[in-house]
Amino acid sequence: MLERLPYPVKIAVLRVASTGVRISECLPFRGSQVEWSESKIRIVQTFRRGEIQKRTKTLASKAPVPMCGALAAYLAEWQQQTLYSKDEDFIFASPKLNRKQPLWGQSIA
């Protein structure tokens, strides 16, 4: 199924499925949140109703989550393809907003 999905949708689907993060925690994902050497992803903010919130929904959400090998491979491949590959860029950057905001959940598919 993942192979048939376009980038970056496949990354979002695998990230939510493999880590259990909420979509509001998944969408404001930046390259700087990936801890490559430890195969973990940090969650530092949420995205709701078009606004970045510099907090997580719960204290437990702040704990780094494990990153499976497939997710790491897709992220590395996506960074080679996207125009938004800087650490501060959103992985799911909105092309309409020139990487200033992530895509909305309704528009990612």
Task: Provide the residue ranges of all domains of the chain, joining segments of one domain with +.
Answer: 2-102
Residue 88's Cβ-count burial label (10 Å; 0-12, 13-18, 19+) is: exposed
CA 31 – CA 57 distance, rounded (Å)? 21
| Local confidence band at 106 (pLDDT 50, 70, 90 cut-offs) | low
pLDDT at 56 over 90: no
Q: What is the pTM of this model?
A: 0.84
Best CA proximity match to 24, nearest among 63, 68, 65, 57: 57
| 74-85 mean pLDDT | 91
Best CA proximity match to 42, nearest among 70, 67, 69: 67
pLDDT in tens, 16-48: 999 999 999 999 999 999 999 999 999 999 998
